[in-house]
Amino acid sequence: MRRYSRISGTGSYLPPRRLTNADLVAKLAKHGVETSDHWIVERTGIRARHFAAPGVFSSDLGLEAARNALTAAGVDAKDIDLIIVATSTPDMVFPSTAAILQHKLGIAGCPAFDVQAVCSGFVYALTVADAMIQTGTASKALVVGTEVFSRILDFKDRTTCVLFGDGAGAVVLEASRVPGILASDLHADGKHADILCVPGHVSGGKASGDPLLKMDGQAVFKLAVGVLEDAARAVLAKAGKTEADIDWLVPHQANIRIMRSTAKKLKLPMSKVVVTVDQHGNTSAASIPMALDSAVRSGHINRGETVLLEGVGGGFTWGAILLKM
């Protein structure tokens, strides 16, 4: 009998410190940068975001999201036999944030590793976990997206610092006799690396290059809308489905304009699109699992419904997953 995987529980976590646009405007003013709530909302749809406190790392946020997902799934941490963490803001150069998270969960022995595909990271990580479950390498996987992007923002650049926030989302993915993950579609094109990047690294005991986020917003927008439509159609074709079969679209929460454009191309009303970007900002690899958990816990997404996840991020990377809850 063929082996499949299915999401059995979701979880998320936001650090307590919430910054509204007004709070951020005041913070930027101290850096001599002018902006406004109207300017931010009009261009991004973002009204607030959360920042982690000093000394709080990606593994700490991921731990809370993981615990919530485990509780929702009714699974004990000791039964997890695979941990994959998607993050672009790891606790340290090495070991992996996944290994650190594993220890904080009080377990040991199972494989634990990070996936770095920036905002597409969770889609990549979930695809890898699905493949490992299908081949019998794992039976109960914990897949986490967690970020502290506030640590790599340039607060003198209003075109980027208003976009991002911190947070974590997680799912428990279990072996199943019936399909949960129906199909996935992943891509990357490194020639676009310079339009969204943090061009720095550690060398000689200090940061070398520029360790702050850089983005060409117009280039990212133009590329994102096209590749997200392509990935969505590809994953639907692989699963033998059409746009009409989609109950919910859970996109990467980057910008409301990108989300609206994608929904329009797929002929989906915005009432079928999960939107959390207004309250969370762009939390990179955490945004999709956080949005999914929000929709599940609010009673919008229910068992048996067909959900399309899709993300696009630096690399340039993009991908989509079609799944049945």
Please indicate whether residue 103 is annotated as part of the active site: no
DSSP 164: B
Please indicate whether residue 119 is annotated as part of the active site: yes
Asked whether the beta carbons of 168 and 56 are under 8 A apart, the reply is: no
Distance CA 198, CA 177 (A): 42
Cβ-proximal residues to 77 (8 Å cutoff; 6+ apart), any chain: 66, 70, 105, 106, 107
Q: Return the bridge partners of 184, or none.
A: 321
Distances (CA, A) of 151 to 8, 16, 38, 258: 32, 16, 25, 25
Distances (CA, A) of 7 to 101, 323, 325: 20, 9, 7
Distance CA 139, CA 78 (A): 12
Residue type, 248: W
Of the listed 21, 68, 255, 282, which one is catalytic?
282
- Determine the distance from the C-alpha atom of residue 261 to the mean position of all C-alpha atoms in its chain, rounded to a whole number: 19
Asked whether the beta carbons of 237 and 229 are under 8 A apart, the reply is: no
Q: Where are the alpha helices (DSSP H) in the chain?
A: 21-29, 37-44, 58-73, 97-104, 121-134, 158-161, 217-239, 256-265, 277-280, 287-297
Of the listed 119, 161, 192, 280, which one is catalytic?
119
Please indicate whether residue 197 is annotated as part of the active site: no
Residues acting as catalytic residues: 119, 252, 282
